[in-house]
Structure 1
């Protein structure tokens, strides 16, 4: 009886492994999803400041000193612009993703603006 149970479990595990091999995304797809490519933009500090004040100060503070979210007043000192772009685009932890709310160019402008805060 135990042999039948073990054989059945082995068969189910093999079938599940085969199904996952064909349905999970490949390395290239995952890399493309995880690292959105930042568009080339020239920083418009006034526009970025307005967007940050409209979208970020409720969690990060009016001077970006932190609050419900971490302090961003010196974020450029320990994160590069690509990392900031990725977090603003996709969100992280309790921070929501802004990918659908802002354009890629607006997110890139905010990332450049925040990367200047060192």
Structure 2
């Protein structure tokens, strides 16, 4: 009886541990900083950036952003979003949305 109960408890713990409860909406920043709310960042990107940079960040009218984090820090990306650069006009993204978007893009390497 004890062996059966121990097996049942172990199996339950194993199944629950495998589930993990992680929905994948946040991930750790590559620079060891704050975590990025991926779902929120993707929504902000979709609302403000996809027309020029494509739904998959691969570019189009604007440049490819799939590895923008390799060339620019989150602060540099935020500055570009706020003030524009080259043919890109300033965007109407600010506050927490700007931080979320720029940190998410900075993780693209």
TM-score interval w.r.t. the shorter chain? Answer: 0.5 to 0.7
Higher normalized contact order (CA 8 Å, seq sep 6+, divided by chain length): 1
- Return 5+ residue gaps in structure 2 as ranges: 1-33
1:61-118 per-residue CA deviation (whole Å, 9 max, x = no partner) reads 11110111000011011111111010011111221212xx223221111000000111
Which structure shows the higher helix fraction? Answer: 1
RMSD (Å) for aligned C-alpha atoms: 1.8
Aligned partner of 2:77 in structure 1 is 84
Q: How many residues align?
A: 77
1:5-60 per-residue CA deviation (whole Å, 9 max, x = no partner) reads xxxxxxxxxxxxxxxxxxxxxxxxxxxxxxxxxxxx75221111001011111100
- Return 5+ residue gaps in structure 1 as ranges: 1-40
Partners of 1:60 and 1:70 within 8 A in 2: yes
Secondary structure at the counterpart of residue 43 of structure 1: strand
TM-score (normalised: structure 1): 0.59
Following the alignment from structure 1 to structure 2, what is the Cα–Cα distance between the partners of residues 102 and 66? 19
Aligned partner of 2:59 in structure 1 is 66
TM-score (normalised: structure 2): 0.64
Structure of greater Rg? 1
Aligned partner of 2:14 in structure 1 is none
